[in-house]
Structure 1
Amino acid sequence: MGDAKVVQAQLEDLNKVKTLLFETAKWLNDKGSTQWAGLLKGEDVHNIQEAIKRKEVYLVYHSDFLVGTFALWSKQTAWDEDFWGRDSTNDVLYLHRLALSEGEHGKNTGNLLLDKAKEVARLEKKSGLRLDCVASNRYLNAFYKNNEFNQVGSVEQYDNGEDLQDYHLYFWENK
């Protein structure tokens, strides 16, 4: 996927981003996961519209076809602070809402999105990327580990607003 490009989402891209998030939430639900279940009910705890305004949401295109999206927070959200503790260094980016277009699962597109997120971290001279992942989702945990993310911690029985879940914390170091 050498001709892939990453661009910052604009407000006119909001519906595209919401569609990608909804499709991924539905895909997760079809696989038996409750992860992102709020999106299926129209809830947006990460306020993607405001994140787009802050220039923290990215779209990834391959041959002019939208293949996915992700968000990179430079400042911690309350969620990130709960998981990682307070960090005012602004030296890392927090990866959230990585989502693939319908039909892109199983095509290494997720790897491409992570590569593009790493590219943004390098360009912004950040020391790395942090993310959290539901501990029970073995597929996603293996996916992050296979993409150079190291598990650096866990949070048990976190109240995510829907239920209590365990989470794994991952870090990719920009070397």
Structure 2
Amino acid sequence: MSSFKITNETLADGICACPAVYEDAESITGLLVRTAEWLRDRGSNQWSGLLEGQDTHDIAGSIENGHVFVFKKDEELAAVVMLLPEPSEGDRTLWGDDGHEASIYLHRLAVSRRFAGQGLGARILHWAETGVDYPGKTRIRLDCVADNDALHSFYRRMGYDFRGADASGYHLFEKEMSAE
């Protein structure tokens, strides 16, 4: 189980953050698949493995390990994010050997289309920086497909620094967390 403390349970507009539980797995997977379909319909192959039944991030295991957070309005799933306090094998491949001890790895940030366009993705990124505390962690790292310029711009606007491109087609971003 992860060692973390949620310091802010409410984002805004009645949306609450909490660790996912086993009963959330089906709705989380559904949201991720719908997001992958939405991306595909816009010409992106990001998360295309989900459409073929591939679960490279082991959602059920990640829930059990306390790495998945859900954002709900009343009981409706509005969004999800995965925060890994230790790098996955894929993270180690992308990032190399340095900086892991101080890093949180952000994956699978997805917002339900019903809640899209309301700034929820930005609020979740901010929450990951300030609303949950992982002792000893001072930065957030993430990766995304190289051909999604809109997503790259979003991360830059949110204060993430571009840290390079990987030969396999991923861009790496990192942000130092401020002490608040």
TM-score interval, smaller chain? 0.7 to 0.9
Distance 1:120 1:87 in 2: 26
* Residue pairs, 1:2-21, within 5 angstroms: 3-21=14-32
User: Residue 174 of structure 2 corresponds to which residue in structure 1?
Assistant: 171
Out of 146, 150, 157, the position equivalent to 2:157 is: 146
User: Residue 116 of structure 2 corresponds to which residue in structure 1?
Assistant: 105
Which segments of 5 or more consecutive residues in structure 2 lack a partner in the other structure?
1-11
Divergent runs of 4+, >3 A? 62-65
Aligned-residue sequence identity (percent) comes to 34
- Give the total of aligned pairs: 166
Following superposition, the deviation at residue 134 of structure 1 comes to: 0.9
Distance 2:77 2:58 in 1: 21
TM-score, normalised by the number of residues in structure 1? 0.87
Following superposition, the deviation at residue 76 of structure 1 comes to: 1.1
Distance 1:3 1:128 in 2: 27
Distance 1:120 1:51 in 2: 19
Following superposition, the deviation at residue 62 of structure 1 comes to: 3.6
> Counterpart of 1:168 in structure 2: which amino acid?
H
Following superposition, the deviation at residue 5 of structure 1 comes to: 2.0
Distance 1:72 1:91 in 2: 13
Distance 1:6 1:103 in 2: 17
User: Residue 65 of structure 2 corresponds to which residue in structure 1?
Assistant: 54
Matched, 1:119 2:133: no
Cα gap change, 1:80 to 1:89, in 2 (>3 Å): closer
Q: Map Cα deviations across residues 129-159 of structure 1 (whole Å, 9 max, x no partner).
A: 0000111101111111111111112112x1x
Give RMSD over aligned pairs. 1.7
> Counterpart of 1:74 in structure 2: which amino acid?
P
Contact 2:86/2:101 (8 A) holds in 1: yes
> Counterpart of 1:124 in structure 2: which amino acid?
Y
Following superposition, the deviation at residue 105 of structure 1 comes to: 2.4
Q: Map Cα deviations across residues 80-139 of structure 1 (whole Å, 9 max, x no partner).
A: 001111257532110001111132222211112212221355x22420100001111011
Contact 1:56/1:71 (8 A) holds in 2: yes
Cα gap change, 1:42 to 1:96, in 2 (>3 Å): same
User: Residue 128 of structure 1 corresponds to which residue in structure 2?
Assistant: 139
Higher relative contact order (CA 8 A, sep 6+): 2
User: Residue 56 of structure 2 corresponds to which residue in structure 1?
Assistant: 45
Which segments of 5 or more consecutive residues in structure 1 lack a partner in the other structure?
159-165
Following superposition, the deviation at residue 23 of structure 1 comes to: 1.1
Distance 1:3 1:170 in 2: 30
Distance 1:2 1:67 in 2: 11
Query: 1:83 is paired with a residue of what secondary structure?
Result: helix
